[in-house]
Amino acid sequence: MLPNPEPVFSWVHGGEGLVGWGEAARIEVKGADRFAAAERWWSELVATAEVEDTIGRPGTGLVAFASMSFADEPGSSVLIVPRVVVGRRDGATWRTELHEGDDAPITPIVQPVRRVRVTRYSEGRLSVTDYRKAVARAVERMRAGELAKVVLAHDLVAETDSPLDQRFLLQNLAARYPSCWAFAVDGLVGATPELLLRKTGETVESRVLAGTAWPGSGESAESRLDSAKNRSEHEFAVRSLAETLRPYCTELDVPQTPSVLRLPNVAHLASEVSGRLDPAKTTGPGALLRLGHAVHPTAAVGGTPRTEAVALIAELEAMDRGRYAGPVGWIDARGDGELGIALRCAELRGSLVRLFAGCGIVSDSDPDAEVREAAAKMLPIRDALESA
């Protein structure tokens, strides 16, 4: 259990991962060069830090939590080094503390988790009605041949009776979705099922998700996921990840056939991609950020072709996604770490909680079905908020 309400940090999957609290250092970056700026800052910090790491495995020693904006503009990205990090992996548990000079050991004051009650929901910056219209317009544009796929999202705002304790949300998400990565970085909290990149030495892995079925859709998950719409949506996502990652690899294994990932609220087509990195292109403390820059956004959250899809998102959504659908996770001093895609998440600001959900749109998408799918994808946060 994290001791304090904020600031807290989390990247937990199946009871393993990293959590942290306090803030020792941070940088906020914007624009098209935000990944490069974050990489420079991290490399400089690693070069000047004195680190005692007797374990020497991914996630030990100096660690930063990252949350990058979806788009170049607007949006702000952040890299934060916690004062304390606790990790657990493969039966080993460790604790890392950061000190300046002769700082005394950190003794946290444990505060109980505050429960909240949702008092009301209201439309976000893009209402459900306007989201349906945006999907319909996107379908028209794709049928006209402008692009092949675009991922559109909308938001919803929840108000709570007191400022939301991030640990309350994290605890409920981690318990309900152990196969997802429960994350918290600088007020963005969620449980993502999609792993953008995991770098461990010269090994790289990714879990690509695209194509969705949900309860009440009138067919079995397998039947709905086997539709031409879901298959093509998934193929676009896998192809975009492979094409952008391959230049950094000496080997890349891309499955020919996806599997089905079942979650309590939805089921997805999933492909586990893995490869061996080229050391000449992926060395240094910022290597994971360099790879993240190369592959983001994949067609799973942007579209195909990438440039045209991102431009259409900005036009049709007409809202700032912020760090929703951007890379989120952690990086260590060796350049190893994990970045997921910030999905099934909410932006927390006191008693206001901004929820997000998006869907992949192709030329034969049904706007009404996409509205229902987005509603299903918001259930993890809504259920976690409303849990007793």
Active site residues: 149, 194
Cα–Cα dist 261/183, whole Å: 19
Q: Is 23 helix (H, G, I), strand (E, B) or coil?
A: coil
Q: Is 327 helix (H, G, I), strand (E, B) or coil?
A: strand
Please choose, from the candidates 266, 46, 300, 293, the residue with its C-alpha nearest in 3D space to the C-alpha of residue 153.
300
Residues 6+ apart with CB under 8 A from 140: none
Q: Tally Cβ neighbours within 10 Å of residue 276.
A: 14
What six digits make up the tokens of 268? 């997805």
Backbone angles phi, psi at 360, to 5 degrees: -80, 125
Please choose, from the candidates 146, 29, 18, 149, the residue with its C-alpha nearest in 3D space to the C-alpha of residue 92.
18
Q: What is the DSSP letter of 304?
A: E
Q: What is the DSSP letter of 247?
A: G
Cα–Cα dist 4/166, whole Å: 9
